[in-house]
Amino acid sequence: MSRPDVLVVGGGLAGIAAALECADRGLETVLVERRPWLGGATYSMQRGGLWIDNGQHVFLRCCTHYRGLLERLSATALTRLQTRLEIPLVEPGGAVRTLRRAGLPSPLHLAPVLLRLPGLSAADRVRAAAAVLALRRVDPADPAHDAYSMGDWLAGHDQSPVAVNRMWDLIVRPTLNLRSQDASLAMAAKVFRTGLLEDAAAGDIGWAAAPLRELHHVAALVALEDAGVRVETCVRVRGVTADGSGFTVSADDRRLSARSVAVCLPPDAALAVLPPDAVDAAAVGRLSRSPIVNVHVVYDRPVTRLPLAAATVGPVQWVFDRTRSAGLADGQYLAVSLSAADRFVGWPAVELRRTFVPALSELFPEAAAASLEQFMVTRDRAATFRPAPGTGALRPPARTSIRGLSLAGAWTSTGWPDTMEGAVRSGRAAAARLFADLTHSAEPVLEGVR
């Protein structure tokens, strides 16, 4: 059998995007994945007769490359996207305050959100508005801004602890998987500028209306096969070696070969298979990880009509109604997403239950009278890289030191946080790099991707 043009190692979103980009450029492509399914860090499992997503992965209207991938997979109909940013903010006692953007140009579209945020003094609101305007002048690509913390920047702009918790962390924590005090100013500025300040519609929220496996496994398999990509699952790659005419890839029980290789794996796994000196291993090794915990609660009856909600008081952060997507016929299934979950990731399920069942009853009073049918926990101790100050210099580009070998993953240098959008952008950038190497082009051409 002749060598394929490209071997993509890893079937997460980066690998799927890389394989489709290569196939669309006319390259013979093979994708291998160690697990029986595709989707990487975005997958579903069956528990208690329901389809449970490992995490509540959302996207924004500004996530153009991920949304483009959904179109490519014919999976857009399996998602929901708000027509206008709307965040129901639930408070103890059951009060709901809806934060909704106005139909005005940026940044005026955020005025109603700022005015309706509870718990802020008039002085807090004035200072917050001034800080939002100042953030528009922070360049996310400036290394000096990456070396500075968002917490220090907020303190320098007179943001009170209440404003940080009620406003800034409402956005920073779920998007960066860190609190503002710990996050890189550059990464936080990227979130606010791209997601909220450059286009009034950019921050509209989208989410999967079906189990993630339907989007990132079932639909992806069909699209890859239709594109001519050969997909092999349950293939664990042990190493990649340049052999003079291409690359040899060692798997568990055989050797694969290709003219070029895209390694689309998490950082530790990528370092384990890459040839020595392909990337700055010391720098990559300094990328630390941040956990996410999801608490899954099934009631015998509906306790809220909200499809999603956020809370800034108490342990609950974001709540999603997953009843229909999980296949629950009666009752209601709520998923609680906890980002920057260092506090909770080591807790046993019984302790999480003692904490979050009463907390949900405080936010949704009808839950107090409902019977708890199921309580489940999913946790990822290394969910994302930790975008702390100085992290930008540690993220490698798609290009490695070896021609014909590229790197992808949301942790690589995409200019985006560790998100589905970042993963797709990284995969497409890696594919463009390989195409340039194979065709001896000077530079890869892929609009909008670093």
pLDDT reported for residue 244: 83
Question: If you ran DSSP here, which 8-state letter would residue 399 be given?
Answer: B
Residue 111 near residue 104, CB atoms below 8 Å = yes
CA distances to 75, 177, 308, 370, 441 from 56, rounded to whole Å, are 17, 13, 11, 24, 40
Given pLDDT bands bounded at 50, 70 and 90, which one contains residue 441? confident
pLDDT reported for residue 440: 85
Q: What is the mean pLDDT of residues 155-183?
A: 97
CA distances to 9, 168, 388, 449 from 256, rounded to whole Å, are 11, 48, 38, 29
Percent of the chain with pLDDT over 70: 98
Other Cβ atoms closer than 10 A to 77: 9
**Please, which residues bridge with residue 297 across strands?**
334, 375
What is the phi-psi region of residue 49: left when phi exceeds 0, alpha when psi lies from -120 to 50, beta otherwise? Answer: left
> To the nearest whole number, what is the mean pLDDT of the chain?
96
Q: What is the mean pLDDT of residues 420-432?
A: 98
- pLDDT of residue 450 exceeding 60, the answer is no
Q: What angle do CA 314, 339, 171 make, to 5 degrees?
A: 80
Residue 322 near residue 334, CB atoms below 8 Å = yes
The least confident of 157-161, 178-182, 295-299, 437-441 is 437-441
Q: What is the mean pLDDT of residues 209-217?
A: 97
